[in-house]
Structure 1
Amino acid sequence: MKSVICLSFLLLLLLLLLSPLSSAALWLPSNAKFPSLQAEKLIRELNLFPKESINIVDRYDSAPIGPRIVERRFKFPDLADSSVSAEDLGHHAGYYKIEHSHAARMFYFFFESRNNKKDPVVIWLTGGPGCSSELAMFYENGPFTISKNLSLVWNEYGWDKVSNLLYVDQPIGTGYSFSSDKRDIRHNEDGVSNDLYDFLQAFFTEHPQFARNDFYITGESYAGHYIPAFAARVHRGNKAKEGIHINLKGFAIGNGLTNPEIQYKAYTDYALDMGIIKKSDYDRINKVLPVCETAIKLCGTDGTISCMASYYVCSTIFSSIMAIAGDINYYDLRKKCEGNLCYDFSNMEQFLNQKTVREALGVGDIDFVSCSPTVYQAMLVDWMRNLEVGIPALLEDGIQLLVYAGEYDLICNWLGNSRWVHAMEWAGQKEFVSSPEVPFAVDGSEAGTLKSYGSLSFLKVHDAGHMVPMDQPKASLEMLKRWTRGSLYGTTEEPENLVSSM
């Protein structure tokens, strides 16, 4: 009852702040009460048009099911070089049945390293929430990029040059992942991380030769929630000897949302520093910060209704900034959006919906849901929860964390990420805070600034927005290579590229 009264007070206070009669009036978008419209807006800004809102199928008639695992080696059609065989490529795609789900099957791509199969296994998780990891696979750090005629071209800076690379469509219902039971739609990180842990157990059962390799978790944006929860779940499973031991060495968050209380407070500071808003705007918008902060504290780490309330309250901060910013691309302030279009990722949908591609992957008639508005809405109760709380224990057990951020991203800006990383209480906090900031040099040029102590590193990446591997592919590959080899400070030799001649 007490929490309901507190929430009612917060919402009343918010309405007063939003009133035109108030000198603190903020801009609330007309669709603020309809998260589905906000999800649709996100999808349209990327020029994506998924046929379905989520992959919950009524029947398995046309779905690729059968044994516990359905996997095949594959070779994409329209690959620029067709002389190499599927066996030589070492590319896999398929489904695993998620053991502790009701009826979920999770789809993935696995690309063996172009260099050495003993390279680390790196899993990538795209955020959204609800966007397919194929977005990163084709536009950021995967083995290929898609040309205008929908043929595939080798990516010179694909992360498979230094790792065995996994992309997973998650949460359930995203991408090609599907279920026949709506109870498999996830609403929190317990559900998401348990599914991913079950996925890994199935993957390493099928590929035991890779279970001995070092394992790293990576991703960006809303994956700032997924990644710490998943890392904690893997570490907990290892300690409890639940199944196959996963050789977890580290986790990396790129331009992520991890600690909303600190990150939402950084919006106005970042916007003012970048010249997006004026000091008068800054003072006006900041009047809602105490309400936002109180709402997030009520949400905590496991709230439900309180977390929804904090989402609505705190969203007015970002919405007010964007009302002033106009057509600025909030993923990259150097760019502008044209109408509803901020990026054009439509080639991905066209490519993956081709009959020849679907046959190569063995996905049957399952739709490709590039971004799922249903998953987005389902995860709203999770949005304002603080996922930083589980990180200190991982750091103190020697699990490495790299937080990196492109300097021109507004929505998950480097300033908010730097602040939560510095504020995090762990055994090495004092030493990390006092450690020097040094240049992150690539080929003799400063590609960013780096701060590191013990298990924790923070990297601000120059000339990059929200999607660092897309904007700075060479620097991001070097970042991954150095980090997984133990030293972000040092330089490493280029590995032999066994398929560079393709």
Structure 2
Amino acid sequence: MSLKPVQARTAGRCHLLPLLLLHLVPAVLLLLLSSSASASASTVVTHLPGFDGPLPFYLETGYVSVEEDTGTELFYYFVESERSVSTDPLILWLTGGPRCTVFSGLAFEVGPVKFVLAPYSGGLPQLVYNPLSWTKMASILFLDSPVGSGFSYARDPKAYDVGDYSSSLQVQTFLNKWFIDHPQYLSNPFYLGGDSYAGMVIPLIAQYISEGIEKRQQPLINLKGYLVGNPKTDPKFDINFRIPSAHGFGIISDQIYEDAMKSCKGDYVNPTNQLCAGVLRKIENLISEIADAHILYKKCVVAVPKPFDDASRRKFLMEESIKINAAPGRPSLDCFTYGYYLAYFWMNDNLTRNSLGVKEGTTSEWIRCIKGLPYTFDMPSSIPYHLNLTTRGYRVLVYSGDHDLEVPLLGTQAWIRSLNFPIVDDWRAWHLDGQAAGFTIAYANNLTFATIKGGGHTAPEYQPEECFAMAQRWLNNEPL
């Protein structure tokens, strides 16, 4: 399968910040570039601020240089499997957005720590061990990608202008360099995993790795497949199926749905007439009344910092110490987003930065999902990559929280069906503790689709027990 030609990038490092860096004046830029350091660095973390006692798992953090001429470095958290390090799978975990930090995956989805949800009154939020961490069954390499996410940074402001293809190539470069530094994991079964927009680029990254394997490029990664949750895939499926899903969830009426079908003729992505555009506005207004990431949850303040103007941004970027200049809106304690609020203060504490080995001067304000940096959505659809990889025999698990309206399961089912694979295990319930935990269907070419009953857009956040059981069975090559 031919891929869109892209100019590959390599690696380097220095001081800078992922926040619309193009606003930096040259003099400030030169000041920030005055120091230099090695192209890669790692830290073994034995204690974390706010966590009682030594960590009961192996945690390593670090940077890998992926583009030398622009000084682009990607930050990672590596947690070894708590079961069998030598034989358990290794998963590269990415988070969506694009440009949400992978710390969301580590602390809110599949990683070994979680926040104590207590009212915040200053100081350091507390962490506890997560007994449903997927590190019970696999080693996980959490990666802040694309550059600008979390603690990943670049020396050259222009380096933040990436897209689907260029950022995926940087992930491939990251993996090659990481495995050279960690050859003891090369024999472990390797998988890619992630939710939301990560599901768009994961098949592309897997494609790049697969081509490297075919060319016998070193290091030879033991790629076995990938798993994606509520994955962005193709707007004609992801967006078009929001309308029938909203109708099925009872958010829009029969009449509004019928008007949409009649006026838009099945195309809700590109309205071609005023009647269609009007009914779509009406539908979006109705959807805005609920939390579309999980329609049953409260609609809460999203815990992201408030935007600030160019003048305050320039001043902020020049600060050497960490200043919380744009504190996020505070959700109520019973809101799903309260953990995100706590994470903001925990990550912006110098004790946390020091323990994680974050390089001074590279990221001033940690933001869970950063907005305002350029990103090119240059891959219109990931379906060709899904088709190519499954045809080559790689294992794939696609799962959907069934209460998500951002990437509804109806659209995910539809693009999977468009592959025209024969069914090898027809639609049935899968169970946990004697109860249906969701429904599943298995196709030829090692493709499995599963729903998570009660799950939202990032299913492991909402239904951790069910997702733990699903992942464990699938990674163990057992039927769900």
TM-score (normalizing by structure 1) = 0.76
Worse-superposed segment, 145-154 or 166-175: 145-154
Asked if 1:53 is matched to 2:22, the reply is no
CA distance in 1, matches of 2:255, 2:478: 44
CA distance in 1, matches of 2:293, 2:35: 36
Asked if 1:170 is matched to 2:133, the reply is no
Is this contact kept in 1: 2:62–2:77, CA < 8 A? yes
Sequence identity (%) = 25
CA distance in 2, matches of 1:229, 1:317: 35
Offset of residue 197 of structure 1: 0.4
Structure 1 equivalent of residue 356 of structure 2 = 361
Structure 2 equivalent of residue 180 of structure 1 = 155
Structure 2 equivalent of residue 440 of structure 1 = 430
> Structure 1, residues 95-131: CA drift from partner, whole Å, max 9, x if none?
0100476320000100111112121111111111111
Q: Measured at CA, do residues 66 and 441 of structure 1 come closer, stay the same or move farther in structure 2, by a change above 3 Å?
A: same
Q: How does 1:71-86 map to 2 (within 5 A)?
A: 71-78=42-49, 80-83=51-54
Asked if 1:132 is matched to 2:101, the reply is yes
Structure 1 equivalent of residue 378 of structure 2 = 382
> Structure 1, residues 115-172: CA drift from partner, whole Å, max 9, x if none?
1212111111111111111112111111100113612100010111111111111111
**Structure with greater helix percent:** 1
Offset of residue 343 of structure 1: 2.2
State the one-letter code of the partner of 1:255: N
Structure 1 equivalent of residue 407 of structure 2 = 412
Query: Aligned to 1:437, what secondary structure does the other structure show?
Result: strand
Q: Measured at CA, do residues 442 and 162 of structure 1 come closer, stay the same or move farther in structure 2, by a change above 3 Å?
A: same
CA distance in 2, matches of 1:399, 1:214: 12
CA distance in 2, matches of 1:142, 1:200: 20
State the one-letter code of the partner of 1:82: G
Structure 1 equivalent of residue 84 of structure 2 = 116
Query: Aligned to 1:95, what secondary structure does the other structure show?
Result: strand
Offset of residue 431 of structure 1: 3.1
Offset of residue 255 of structure 1: 0.7
State the one-letter code of the partner of 2:337: Y
Q: Unaligned stretches of 5+ in structure 2?
A: 1-16, 119-123, 303-330
Q: Unaligned stretches of 5+ in structure 1?
A: 1-50, 296-308, 490-502
CA distance in 2, matches of 1:318, 1:478: 39
Higher relative contact order, structure no. (Cα contacts within 8 Å, ≥ 6 residues apart): 1
Asked if 1:451 is matched to 2:441, the reply is yes
Offset of residue 362 of structure 1: 1.8
Is this contact kept in 2: 1:64–1:70, CA < 8 A? no
Is this contact kept in 2: 1:193–1:230, CA < 8 A? yes
CA distance in 1, matches of 2:58, 2:277: 44
Query: Aligned to 1:96, what secondary structure does the other structure show?
Result: strand
Q: How many aligned residue pairs are there?
A: 411
CA distance in 2, matches of 1:238, 1:269: 41
Query: Aligned to 1:441, what secondary structure does the other structure show?
Result: strand
1:284 to 225, 250, 259: 259
Structure 1 equivalent of residue 241 of structure 2 = 266
Structure 2 equivalent of residue 15 of structure 1 = none
CA distance in 2, matches of 1:322, 1:133: 29
Query: Aligned to 1:115, what secondary structure does the other structure show?
Result: coil
Offset of residue 79 of structure 1: 5.0
Q: Measured at CA, do residues 408 and 177 of structure 1 come closer, stay the same or move farther in structure 2, by a change above 3 Å?
A: same
CA distance in 2, matches of 1:55, 1:116: 43
TM-score (normalizing by structure 2) = 0.79
CA distance in 2, matches of 1:230, 1:483: 21
Structure 2 equivalent of residue 430 of structure 1 = 422
Query: Aligned to 2:239, what secondary structure does the other structure show?
Result: helix
CA distance in 2, matches of 1:78, 1:474: 27
Is this contact kept in 1: 2:91–2:190, CA < 8 A? yes
Q: Measured at CA, do residues 243 and 99 of structure 1 come closer, stay the same or move farther in structure 2, by a change above 3 Å?
A: farther
Structure 1 equivalent of residue 14 of structure 2 = none
